[in-house]
Every structure is written in structure tokens, then in C-alpha cells.
Amino acid sequence: MMITNSELEVMSKQNIETINRKELADLSAIHIRQDLPQVEKILDFLEQIKNPYCFLCGDVPVRVCFTDDGPKLGQTLENYFIRIKQG
């Protein structure tokens, strides 16, 4: 299922203090298939993480936010996957 821009906007404004931790995906449980094309890897990640702005890293809740003049989430995720691929 494709996440819409409006859904991403809502997710980006969620408060990590009030969100139900049971709804958060654990980043350590995310597995990206290396045989997928780059765009499909990003879509696979988004499907598994559910909310790319709020997730768990082990038992630690994490909230990601970006400045208006910084890189967009898509570009940041793309750079992340490129670094993973390069080792």
C-alpha cells in the first residue's frame, strides 16, 4: 500500500510522547531485500516501518524531524540505502 503525502504529513506531526508504542515498528526488525530496485527498496522500507517519522530502535522510541531547508525524507532515505548498499 502506497503512503500518500497527506498521510506522511500527519505522521510527521505525531508526538512521540503520546503515540502508542505498540503501533511503532522496531527499526532493528526491518529487512530490506537487496535484489529490489532502489525505488522498491524505499517502498518496502516504508511498508515495514509504517511511520518513517516515529519508530523504535530496540526499546528506544525515536522521532525523526527535518528542517524546512534541509533534505526531504525521500532524498534522505535514498542516501541511506545507497550507503547500506556500498557497505
Say if CB 41 and CB 80 are below 8 A apart: no
Distance of CA 82 to CAs 21, 28, 41, 86, Å?
29, 18, 10, 6
Q: Which three cell numbers stand for residue 67?
A: 528542517
Domain that holds residue 20: 5-86
Three-class SS of 24-69: CCEHHHCCCCCCCCHHHHHHHHHHHHCCCCEEEECCEEEECCCCCC
Selection from 44, 64, 39 nearest residue 54 by Cα: 64
Q: pLDDT confidence of 1, banded at 50, 70, 90?
A: low
Into how many domains does the chain fold? 1
Segment 12-60, tens digit of pLDDT: 999 999 999 999 999 999 999 999 999 999 899 999 999 999 999 999 9
